[in-house]
Structure 1
C-alpha cells in the first residue's frame, strides 16, 4: 500500500514537472491556427527526387532543389551553407506539425531552411538564440512543438 502511494505521488510529481516545463516553453511559442493538408515527408521527398532526377543530373533549379533536399536529409557541418550563420537575419520560424518540419526564413536573399524536427542540424548558438527570441509559430500547442523547443533550449545550455 505504501509503495502504491509513493508511485502515485511520483506520477503526480512527474505530471506537475511536465506542466511546469510546458509553461516555461510556452514563452518561446506562438500559436497561429491554420488549415493545411497532412503531408508525409518521406513520401514527399521520395516523389520529388524520383520525379526530378530520374534520368539526369541536377542543374539549374533542379540543383537548388537537390541542395535543399540534401541540407534537409543529410545535414553536414562542413557544407558552406552553414558557414555564415552569424550574418543571418531571421524573419520567420514555423513548425509544420503534419510533416515534422520546422522552417527558418531569412531576410536578404529570402533563404529558407526546411529542417526535420527529428534531425540535428549544425546551427550555432547565436542562431539558436535568435530562433527562441523570434518564437516558434505553430498551429497549436503540441508535443512536437514542446519537444523542439526543449531540444533547442538544451543545445543552448551545452
Structure 2
C-alpha cells in the first residue's frame, strides 16, 4: 500500500481517520528515526492533528503526498532555510523542491544536460510529479507534470524512448506523454 500514516505506537489508525486530511505543520530530518521497525534516516512529517509519517527520501514523499502537501512542505522548508542553515539531507530536500516549484534556467543542473545519462522516467500521480533518474549519480530531476522545464530536446526524446513508468494507466500519464512530445516538436 502506498499510503502509510503512523501514529504513536499505542494508538491505531482507523479508516475514518484516513478519510480526513490535515495539513503538514512541521518537518524534520531524523538520522535514526523508526520506520518499519528499523533504525534509518527519514523525513518526519507532523500533521495538525498530531499524526506523524516517515519518508525515507523524496521518492517516498512524491508517492505518498498530494500536491497541496508538497506546497505546504516547500513553504515550511523555505521558512526553516530563512531562519538557519540546513544540514545535508535538509538542503537536498530544499533544492529538490525549489527546482521543482521555482526552476531557474541559470542553475548548473540545467546547463549540464549533455552529461546526463537517463536511466528511467517515473510518474507519481498522487503528487503530480514526474522524475527523471540519472545513471552514474544518485540523482533525480523532479518536475511538476504541468510545468515546462529547460530540458533539451535530446533529454525529452530519451524520456519518451524510455517510456513513462506509472502505477497504472491514467489520464495524467497520457497527458504527460503528450505534453512531452509537444515540447519536442517546439524545439524542432
TM over 0.5: yes
Structure with more contact order per residue of length (Cα contacts < 8 Å, sep ≥ 6): 1
| Residue equivalent to 2:141 | 113
Q: What TM-score does the superposition give when structure 2 sets the normalisation length? A: 0.60
The residue that corresponds to 2:120 in the other structure is: 92
2:67 counterpart residue number: 41
Q: Can you give the 5+ residue segments of structure 1 that lack an aligned partner in the other structure?
A: 1-34
Q: Which has the larger radius of gyration?
A: 1
Q: Name the structure where helix makes up a greater proportion of residues.
A: 1
Give the Cα–Cα distance (whole angstroms) in 2 for the partners of residues 116 and 157 of structure 1. Answer: 20
- Gaps of at least 5 residues in structure 2 are 4-63
Corresponding residue for 2:172? 144
Given the two structures, how large is their TM-score scaled by the length of structure 1? 0.71
2:155 equivalent in structure 1: 127
Please, what is the CA RMSD of the aligned residues? 1.9
The Cα shift of 1:87 comes to 1.4
Any idea what the Cα deviations from partners look like across 1:116-151, whole Å, max 9, x if unmatched? 102111100000010001110112111101111001
Paired residues, number: 124
Task: State the 1:76 CA deviation.
Answer: 1.6
Structure showing the higher strand proportion among its residues: 2
The runs of 4+ residues in structure 1 deviating greater than 3 Å are none
- 1:63-114 C-alpha deviation (Å, 9 max, x unpaired): 2221111101001211111111121111111111111011111011121111
- Give how far 1:50 is off: 1.9
Residue number in structure 1 paired with 2:36: none
Which residue of the partner structure matches residue 10 of structure 1? none
